[in-house]
Each structure stands twice: as structure tokens, then as C-alpha cells.
Structure 1
């Protein structure tokens, strides 16, 4: 870079003058500017220095000898464009150089002599390529304490935040693991239900002792359908379907299985269990009935052999017109399947007929079911309402006893009124047994057409399981 110095009295560049070597200097950019002296001291000098703005620097030459002063405190000091720094300079030298750079910046921003017009903008901008010493000096400027502490403080804050987030992550992972364990424990299975005797009694109607007895009785005859469910879970599915009347979709959701798997379990286990447990529905001998006769039947109904009723179970409306007509019940006003069922005075189910369409008469079911062949002479049959079977029972030597008010008589005699009251007291206990049988909610629900073919097995199984329950009829004092 070259600097051009002019004399004010001649107005010519120094390289054109014939003066000494101190009258000129090489310059990269030449700017001819006439500068007037603004002070008396400067005006009285024949040859003074001219100020040339070059790359944001004002170069001033001494009016006496024309040489630059390297002392930054001297009034003849000239900011140098070439700054030399040593890598091993001490803190004091760095501070002096920093102060010198600050003064140089002030000289650049406030020139000693104001030119007559503003210099070009590109001359006022200094880049790192033109001023390598300046960038070098800025790199060695000491960093203030506040600026040095801010990164450390931010680092400490980030570490504290990281520690907090780490603790929160550990807590969430522990909670997730705990929820997984609770979910595994809350999975619906016999292993979780058996821990609470009340829950097991609600879902199955039996205690754990009877449940294991049933499992032992049928374990060798049934097939394991699902590998995910154990034999206890298979039995629990069947008992819950009978006891609570749940559909297959509900059971599939509870046991985390498909609906098809639950259907296969029911279709495989219910018929097998019905065959195995059918002997529990037994017609007792007359001596056995008298031995277990409750006190409430004495002394007027000591010859009572059974209490009979016709139970009707609703089914879905068949699409076939013939089947729809055969299953229509005028008593229930619905499509039903009718069964003849009898109870002993002690409350056990002693006879169960196959299912018939609701349109079939009570007489035909009584005659075709084989019930009449089990009766003996002088047996008493008690019923709640009038059935058109009196003549058939009389042919077997049996007596049919019903309350007199069921015959719709306008006026009852004193004897008929007392007999009807006694029959009503006996009938209350029978209603309890019938209610125990109907505790299996599947018998009170509407059976889908796809499951009507299993209805006989379902009724047999519910009747056999009812006989396993504790009797609701008071025991005899004997």
C-alpha cells in the first residue's frame, strides 16, 4: 500500500516535486484534497502535513522532520497500518496495544482535519484483507469477566436441567414398569379370580372346592382349545357364559382371545360337560324323598313326590315360517323352547325333559317326555297353575294338587282356602329352587339362532350345576 503526501502551498503531489525524500510516500489510492489551516499555528507554517483518508486511517507527518513517531503518547504519533505483535508478549504489552488500538479507532472516527467533501464509502470501510494487523489485534483483546462467566453459568444451568430430566425419566420408567406388573396381575384369568372367594362365587356360582372337583371330573374328557388359556380358564369361560349370560365377544375381550376361539371352547366343552354331569339329575326313590322331607310339607303333603313346572326360554325369531309358528308361545307371547322340569321337596331337580317348541301343549310334553312312567300310585304332584294333565296323572294313580284360586272360582270354602294357603307356603320354597336354577342368566336371555342347537345341553348343564349348590329349602328337624 502506498501513501501520497502533498504540500498545501504547491497543490502538487510529492512524487512530482523535486524535494527531499521526506516529501513523498508511496500510496495505493491518490486523493487530491485541498485542506485549509483552521488554526493560527498551522497557518503560519510554510510546509505542513496533509491529511489523507485511506482505509479509515489518518496519517500525519511531523512538520519538523517528516518522520512518523512510534510513541502513541506523542502528538506526532501516526497510526500505523502495519501492526507487529509477538506471540510471547506479556499482559502489559497487550494492554498497551489494546489502548493504542482504541485510540486509533477514535482517530479514524474523528480525523484531525475535516476534508472539504466526504470521501467515497468504499474508502471508509476497512476489511481484514487490508488490515491484517487489526484482526490480529482483535483476537488478542482480553475477554471481560462477565462474558467469560456467562458460558459457565449456562453450562451449570443445563447440567441442573439435565439432572432434573434424568430423575423424571427414571420416575416415569419405574411407573411404567409398575403399571405393566399391575396390568399383568389384573389380566382376567382363574389365577387372579381364585384369590377372592367372593369374586369366584360371583363369576361361577361355586366355591374353589367345587370348581376343582368339576375340573377333575371333566379334565380327561375335554380338549384344550387355546394354548394361551389353561384348563382352569377354559372351565371359567364356560361357567361365566352360563352364570352371567355373557356373549362370546365379551368373553373374548376379557380373556384376550378371539371370538372364534371362545365359540370353539363353548361348543366343545358344554356338550361334553352335559354328558358327564347328566347323572346329577336323578329321580329319587320314594323312601329317599320321605327321609329328606322338609318339615313344612308335614303333615298334609307327606306323599308329595315332586313339584312340576314348565319353563320356557326365549329364542331369537326364526326366519323360517314353519319354525316361527312351532316356537311361538301364547303364554310368553314370544318364540320359546319349552321344558318340563320337576323338583323334589328338598329342592333338587329330579327330572328334565328335552326341549319342545313353545306351541306344543303341556299334555303332549308330559306324555312324550317319559315323565308319567316314573310315577307310582298315591304319589302327589304339586303345581302352581292349572295344567291339562290331570287325566294322565290319574291314569298312573297319582294326585294333582294345585291351589284352588288357580281354578278361578268365585267363592272358596273354608277348607279350600286353608288348603290353598298350605300349598302357597310350600310353593314359596319351590320358587326359591326355581330361582336358583334361573340364577344362570343364560336361561333368562334371548338365545341366538346359532346357539339353539346347544340349548338342550345348556339346560341340562345348568340343572346339574344347580344340584351342586346348597339347598335353599329348610332341612328337616330329624
Structure 2
């Protein structure tokens, strides 16, 4: 009997302990579920707080501000590039690689700024830019195309058709500030016009407003005439072409040797005053040359072209210029397509109404 009583009491204690352990297990399971939910919430908040394409793409205004591109254009560009470049950092995706490069070009951000934003090292940012920008330049360079005479005439604005129907191209030189480390390079890049070390580029623009020619970079001390004659631009001209330029382009005879004509504003050097015809021609040239400044303005909306290029990045400048020029043309074509679509839709709605 005593043994039986002891067994019963022992079983009661075991049952009590079992119930206690069950209650503790339920409480621990509830705490675990709460912690798991909180952990997931914190991960989501951390993901939203981190700077990445995933957090930017949902806001179209932010994406355009940081890159100049819409999400459709961004994905198209990524699809063209992704097969030819590799990810430099395993901690960030390919979309973020492209976002870093576009932010570098669009906003002119320093590498350390981008490193803080994407939570990577400054060296990683530098490696991404040095790997991706040359690859992008090679892939996008076909977007800077020298069009045929027929294409030029077909897309020529009315303001050109009145007085410059034979215009093939409008040219200008633009300078980008740079600071080479080599003393000889500094002497070669010194620009008396800008009073600084610069790299000079010849840019050609079609009457319709797209970039059709970009020369390699030259030292700032080179003349407009030299860069025009030695950059390969003249070889693209055909007989009876007209080239519109500023007064600094003293290349009339050189273009004439290729059967082309130079149209520049008249100036009063050696004259008391201009004739009425010369004044009118100069005014007409000034009106159409405004288009050049607008295109260069769109090109230089990539703020890296407005900054002083560091020594470490001077070797990439030609590729940077090409990528910015190609993206400018891409944005230009996309804008034309957008407005054409709106106009077509508006005309269709009007016809239905």
C-alpha cells in the first residue's frame, strides 16, 4: 500500500511538472513568434532605410532625379549591359551597380558619398565605376550616330528649312575642368579662355537636336580649328553640306576643300559696320545656334561634366563623355516618342469625339 501511495504521488508530481513544462513551452513559443515577427518587421524597415534601386524605383520622381531615367529606360539599359559586365560587389545587386554609376554621372557625387549611401567601401565604388563606365561607353556609343542627308532633311525643324536647308551639323567646343597631376599635362590642358586646366571636346549636333559627333578629349590649349581638323569630323562631311559654327572656327577654306560650306556670324573686324544683309544673316544664325546651347545644356545636366574631374578619373573622361552623350540622345528620343504618343492619342480622342 505504501509503495502504491508513493507511485501515485510521483505520477502526480510528474503530471504537474509536465503541465508546467507545457505552459512554459506555450509561453516560449508565443515569445518566439513575437520575436520572429519583430525581426521581420525590423528587416523590412532596414531594407527601406537602405539606399538601393528597390527603394527608389517605386517613386518615379526620385528615380528620375537620381538617374534621369524612368524605370522602363533603366531596365532596358540594364538588359543591354548586364550580359557584358560583372558584379563587383556581392553585397549589392546589379541594379544597384547601375544605379551607382548613373548617380555618379547624373549628380556628380564623390565616391565616398556613394560608399556611405550604399554601405560599401570607397574602393568598391571606384572599382564599379572603372569597370562599368568603359563597358557602357562601348555599348551605348552607337546611339551617337552620324545621320544621312535624307534623315537630316526629313527631321529638320522649320526654323532651319527657311534659311539653312543644307545644314548637316552645328558644331561647338565645350571644356570640362580637370586637374592632371603631370606638369606637362597641366601645361597642355591650360585654357586661356577658362583660366583653368580643361579637357576640350568638339560636339556636333543635328538640326533636330541630337548629338551626332563627339571628339576625343584634347588639351584645353588646343584651338577650335585644330580639334575640328584632326578629330575626324571633316571626313564625315559630303559635298554641298553646310556647317554652322561660332566665330572661333576659322575653317572655311578647309571645309571648302571637302566641298562643304561654313556658316558663321559676321563680325566687324576690318569694317566700320556690318551691312543690313550681314546683320540679318548673323541674327538668323544666332537664333538657330540657340539649339546647340540647349543640347549642350541637356548633355551637361549630367553634373559630373560640370565638376572638376579628379586626377584618378581623367583617364575615364572620354568614356564618361560618351556615356553622357548617348544617354542625352536616349532621353531626347524617349521624349520625342512620349510627346508623339500623346499627340497621336489626342488626335484619336478628338476624332472619336
TM-score band (shorter)?
Answer: 0.7 to 0.9
Shift of 1:361: 2.1
Partner of 2:320: 458
Q: Which residue of 2 aligns with 1:208?
A: 71
Question: Matches of residues 252-271 of structure 1 in structure 2 within 5 Å?
Answer: 252-271=115-134
The equivalent of 1:351 in structure 2 is: 213
Q: Distance in 2 between matches of 1:394 and 1:419?
A: 20
Cα distance, 1:189 vs structure 2? 0.5
| Structure-to-structure mapping, 1:443-454, within 5 angstroms | 443-454=305-316
Which of 185, 194, 198 does residue 48 from structure 2 map onto? 185
In the alignment, does 2:173 pair up with 1:310? yes
Alignment of 1:325-474 (within 5 A): 325-405=187-267, 410-470=272-332
State whether structure 2 residue 101 is matched by structure 1 residue 226: no
Gapped regions of structure 2 (runs ≥ 5): 1-36, 344-353
The answer as to whether partners of 2:210 and 2:332 remain within 8 angstroms in 1 is: no
Cα deviation, residue 417, structure 1: 1.6
Contact 1:386-1:406 within 8 A present in 2 as well: no
The offset of 1:420, in angstroms, is 1.6
How far did residue 386 of structure 1 move? 2.3
Please name the residue that 1:238 is paired with: 101
Greater relative contact order structure (CA < 8 Å, 6+ sep): 2
Q: Deviations over 1:261-307 (max 9, x none)?
A: 00000000000110111111111110110000011112111100000
- The alpha carbon displacement at 1:433 in A equals 0.9
1:155 is matched with: none
Q: What is the TM-score when the length of structure 1 is the normalising length?
A: 0.60
> Pairwise CA RMSD of aligned residues?
2.4
Q: Following TM superposition, by how much is the alpha carbon of 1:340 offset from its aligned partner in structure 2, in angstroms?
A: 1.0
The 8 Å contact of residues 241 and 442 in structure 1, kept in 2 or not, is answered as: yes
Other structure's SS at 2:162 match: coil
Question: SS at the partner of 1:237?
Answer: helix
Q: 1:406 to 1:355 in 2, by over 3 A?
A: farther
Distance 2:208 2:268 in 1: 24
- Deviation track 1:314-361 (CA, whole Å, cap 9, x = no partner) reads 102x34321111111111111111111100001111111111111222
Provide the rounded CA distance (Å) in 2 between the counterparts of 1:309 and 1:250.
33
Q: How far, CA to CA, are the matches of 1:446 and 1:409 in structure 2?
A: 41
Structure 1 residues 408 and 287: CA distance shift in structure 2, 3 A: farther
Secondary structure of 2:250's counterpart equals coil
- Give the Cα–Cα distance (whole angstroms) in 2 for the partners of residues 422 and 290 of structure 1: 19
Quote the Cα distance in structure 1 between the aligned partners of 2:206 and 2:65: 26
The answer to whether the Cα contact below 8 Å between 2:181 and 2:311 also exists between their aligned partners in 1 is no
Cα offset, 1:249, TM superposition: 0.4
The answer (yes or no) to whether the contact 2:246–2:265 under 8 Å persists in 1 is: yes
Normalised by the length of structure 2, the TM-score is 0.80
**What is the Cα deviation at residue 399 of structure 1?**
1.2
Per-residue deviation, 1:406 = 8.1
Deviation at 1:363?
2.2
**The structure with more helix, counted as a fraction of residues:** 2
Q: Report how far residue 414 of structure 1 moved.
A: 1.4
Equivalent residues in 2 for 1:56-67 (5 A)? none
In 1, the alpha carbon distance for the partners of 2:268 and 2:246 equals: 8
Tell me how many residue pairs correspond in the alignment. Answer: 302
Partner of 1:104: none
Measured after TM superposition, the shift of residue 199 of structure 1 is: 0.9
Alignment of 1:39-58 (within 5 A): none
Worse overlay, 356-365 or 213-222: 356-365
Measured after TM superposition, the shift of residue 182 of structure 1 is 3.4
Q: Distance in 2 between matches of 1:287 and 1:415?
A: 30
Distance 1:264 1:319, change over 3 A: closer
1:221–1:176 distance in 2 versus 1, CA, 3 Å: closer
* Deviations 1:104-127, CA, capped at 9 Å, x for gaps: xxxxxxxxxxxxxxxxxxxxxxxx
Is 2:137 the counterpart of 1:274? Answer: yes
Question: In the alignment, is the contact (CA less than 8 A) between 1:385 and 1:406 conserved in 2?
Answer: no
Question: In the TM superposition, what are the counterparts of 1:134-153 in structure 2 within 5 Å?
Answer: none
Offset at 1:362? 2.1
Q: Which secondary structure state, in structure 2, belongs to the residue aligned with residue 298 of structure 1?
A: helix
Which consecutive unaligned segments of at least 5 residues does structure 1 have? 1-173
Change (3 A) 1:347 1:409: farther
Residue 386 of structure 1 contacts residue 407 of structure 1 at CA under 8 Å; is this kept in 2? no
Q: Which has the larger radius of gyration?
A: 1
